[in-house]
């Protein structure tokens, strides 16, 4: 009965043609309005999706609201809640075997379908991914151009914030610490916080959140470049004129860091796309969701995500990988990169009680497709690079070592195993900085998702915790009464 009423309402709203369409529409990955004219701005496009999506959520909750989505065993509660299905996150979904899909599209599909830089770009523009994540649609060329222009206009950071960053003790503060300081400083510009203070309606939060998200995403390359040049290049900043004709985020990032090659522009585009989103449960995405659920604005929420990304088991692993690879080369001395020599050095790492960085994953059970995409880039542009050859050889060696060790659930490489050698090849050798680049990209996914959290009016997150004593009492009582 309830679903009949829902169907009738949806027919009235033109989301479906008749009640029998309801079930098939619910099964589709996105709920599209039947007749639309293509919106030109991102805000209009998101707006056009909100009511249909709310209707879809409504239908799903009506139909399946009391079904069990996942269970949580005592071991899972102690074990980082691994594979407990207890969140809904719309922008991407991770399959353990296949890897990430952004709004249903795999990485190779995104590389094929998303618009490229004119005239000869081959990698997808991050602005296109942003449109896809926010709306669920592959954008047209002109839609992507509108996002490029919008972000370019927003890509300025107040002088006093830059000067504050200039005065930080760069040699003593990790670039990720400088990065979170910067994002917190920018928080004073939050439109969402301002709107909340002026009594904005809950139904309008998403739009303020989107405003903040776009401004923050646009500003992050400027901040990243400032930190990079302050920390590693004696505060010699790249003049603004140099980036004036950089019309997309990838190129702007490359140029403001101080790199001039079009190949590096392409690498930055690819990098920003690959690292953007990895469903909702990873540390950075979950931190953004959690903090945002208290209605902390996107700046505060994203700063929390960055702090999570800065951990060595998560985003910082890319820094650790490059260090480990360089140590490995040093330990090899002049010896060749044979299977035997590399196997021995991997065992040495394990015997010292360390993880092998860039291998393993909490969810993936095969080679990360983000690794594969970077490997393809390397095969095209730097096949003879010695460090790439080391990474290639480790692809053969490490999984065997980890299998033999016997405790790792996934012996295959993840995204972080590959990024450093690409950056290093083009001269970005300062591995301490790598996670900042990861953070610039992660904003695209986590903030898109945050906009949807507000659009759907998700409540404050508050799972129930229990104590070890509670678990004992609960299950002991149960076995007595059985
Ligand atoms: C962008 C990203 O965040 S991708 C991940 C980046 N992180 C890394 O590359 C760091 C190296 N990898 C790891 O530490 C892990 O594989 C993680 C953190 C990614 C996943 O952790 P988990 O889900 O707990 O992995 P898993 O269930 O396979 O762990 C089982 C055991 O194998 C160990 N293990 C997992 N990966 C590795 C590895 N690469 N090298 C050595 N041991 C490992 C774990 O430490 C754990 O040991 P313990 O039982 O003594 O505590
Ligand atoms: O999914 C995870 O847990 C970690 C990861 O690869 C990411 O966040 O990119």
Provide the CATH number for the domain around residue 257: 1.10.580.10
Residue 40 maps to a domain: yes
Q: Measuring from atom 18 of ligand 1, which residue has the nearest CA?
A: 313
Half-sphere exposure of 356 (CA within 13 A, CB side): 33
226-260 per-position pLDDT tens digit? 999 999 999 999 998 889 999 999 999 999 999 99
pLDDT band at 38 (very low <50, low <70, confident <90, very high): confident
**In contact, 413 and 358? CB cutoff 8 Å:** yes
Average pLDDT over every residue of 396-402: 98
pLDDT at 4: 58
The rounded mean pLDDT for the chain is 94
Query: Predicted confidence band at 328 (pLDDT cuts at 50, 70, 90)?
Result: very high
pLDDT for res 479:
80
- Tell me: pLDDT of 23 over 60: no
CA dist 444 and 285 (Å) reads 11
Res 52: pLDDT: 97
176 and 258 together in one domain: yes
* CA pair distance 79, 145, nearest whole angstrom: 45
CB 288 within 8 A of CB 455: no
Is 471 part of a structural domain of the chain?
A: no
pLDDT digits (tens, 9 = 90+) for 405-420: 999 999 999 999 999 9
Q: Is residue 77 part of a domain?
A: no
Measured between alpha carbons, how far is residue 273 from residues 12, 103, 292, 437 in Å? Answer: 39, 13, 23, 11
* % of the chain exceeding 70 in pLDDT: 92
Last residue of a domain, one of 16, 40, 67: 67
Query: 367-378 pLDDT, tens per residue?
Result: 999 999 999 999
Is 24 a residue whose pLDDT tops 80?
no
DSSP letter, residue 464: -
Question: Does one domain contain both 284 and 399?
Answer: no
**pLDDT band per the 50, 70, 90 thresholds, residue 480:** confident
Do residues 381 and 444 both lie within one domain?
A: no
Given a cut of 50, is residue 175 above it in pLDDT? yes
Instruction: Report the pLDDT value the prediction gives residue 239, as an integer from 0 to 100.
Output: 93
Q: Specify whether 174 is catalytic.
A: no
Q: Is residue 90 part of a domain?
A: no
Would you place residue 297 in the very low, low, confident or very high pLDDT band (cuts 50, 70, 90)?
very high
Query: Are residues 180 and 324 located together in one domain of the fold?
Result: no
CA of 473 to the centre of ligand 2 (A): 35
Together in a domain, 143 and 194: yes
Nearest ligand 1 atom to the CA of 438 is: 1
Q: Is the ipTM of this complex over 0.95?
A: yes
Answer yes or no: do 130 and 261 share one domain: yes
The total of structural domains in the chain comes to: 3
pLDDT of residue 29: 44
Helices 434-455 and 205-232: crossing angle in degrees, nearest 10, is: 170
Q: Is residue 103 part of a domain?
A: no
Q: Are 415 and 439 part of one and the same domain?
A: no
Of the residues 80, 176, 355, which should be mutated to test ligand 1's pocket, given the most ligand atoms within 8 Å of the CB? 355
Residues 46 and 61 in one domain: yes
Domain that holds residue 36: 1-67
Ligand 2 pocket residue status of 278, Cβ below 6 Å: yes
At residue 14, does pLDDT exceed 90?
no
């Amino acid at each position: 009965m309830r679903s009949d009423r829902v169907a009738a309402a949806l027919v009235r709203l033109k989301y479906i043609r008749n009640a029998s369409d309801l079930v098939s529409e619910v099964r589709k990955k996105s709920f599209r309005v039947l007749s639309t004219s293509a919106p030109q701005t991102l805000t209009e496009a998101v707006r056009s999706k909100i009511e249909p999506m709310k209707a879809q959520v409504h239908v799903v909750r009506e139909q399946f609201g009391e079904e069990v989505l996942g269970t949580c065993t005592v071991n899972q509660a102690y074990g980082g809640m691994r594979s407990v299905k207890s969140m809904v996150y719309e922008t991407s979904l991770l399959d353990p075997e296949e890897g990430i899909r952004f709004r249903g599209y795999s990485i190779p599909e995104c590389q094929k379908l998303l618009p490229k830089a004119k005239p000869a770009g081959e990698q997808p523009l991050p602005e296109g991914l942003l449109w896809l994540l926010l709306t669920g649609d592959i954008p047209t060329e002109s839609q992507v151009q509108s996002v490029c222009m919008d972000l370019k206009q927003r890509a300025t950071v107040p002088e006093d914030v830059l000067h504050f960053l200039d005065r930080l003790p760069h040699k003593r503060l990790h670039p990720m610490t400088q990065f979170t300081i910067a994002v917190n400083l920018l928080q004073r510009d939050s439109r969402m916080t301002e709107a909340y203070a002026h009594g904005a309606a809950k139904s309008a939060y998403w739009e303020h959140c989107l405003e903040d998200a776009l401004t923050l995403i646009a500003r992050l390359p400027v901040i990243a470049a400032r930190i990079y040049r302050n920390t590693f290049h004696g505060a010699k900043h790249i003049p603004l004129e140099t980036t004036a004709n950089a019309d997309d985020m990838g190129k702007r990032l490359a140029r403001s860091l101080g790199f001039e090659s079009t190949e590096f522009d392409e690498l930055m585009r690819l990098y920003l796309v690959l690292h953007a989103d990895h469903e909702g449960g990873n540390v950075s995405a979950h931190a953004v969701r959690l903090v945002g659920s208290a209605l902390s604005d996107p700046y505060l929420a994203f700063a929390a995500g960055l702090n999570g990304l800065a951990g060595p088991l998560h985003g910082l692993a890319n820094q650790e990988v490059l260090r480990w690879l360089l140590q490995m080369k040093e330990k090899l001395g002049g010896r060749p990169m044979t299977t035997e020599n590399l196997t021995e050095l991997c065992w040495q790492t394990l015997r010292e009680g360390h993880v092998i960085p860039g291998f393993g994953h909490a969810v993936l059970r095969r080679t990360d497709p983000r690794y594969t995409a970077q490997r393809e880039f390397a095969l095209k542009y730097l096949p003879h690079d010695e460090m790439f050859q080391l990474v290639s050889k480790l692809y053969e060696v490490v999984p065997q070592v980890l299998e033999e060790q016997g405790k790792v659930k996934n012996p295959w490489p993840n995204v972080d195993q590959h990024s450093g050698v690409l950056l290093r090849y083009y001269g970005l050798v300062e591995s301490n900085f790598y996670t900042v680049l990861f953070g610039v990209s992660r904003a695209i996914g986590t903030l898109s998702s945050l906009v949807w959290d507000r659009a759907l009016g998700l409540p404050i997150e508050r799972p129930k915790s229990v104590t070890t004593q509670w678990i004992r009492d609960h299950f002991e009582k149960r076995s007595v009464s059985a």
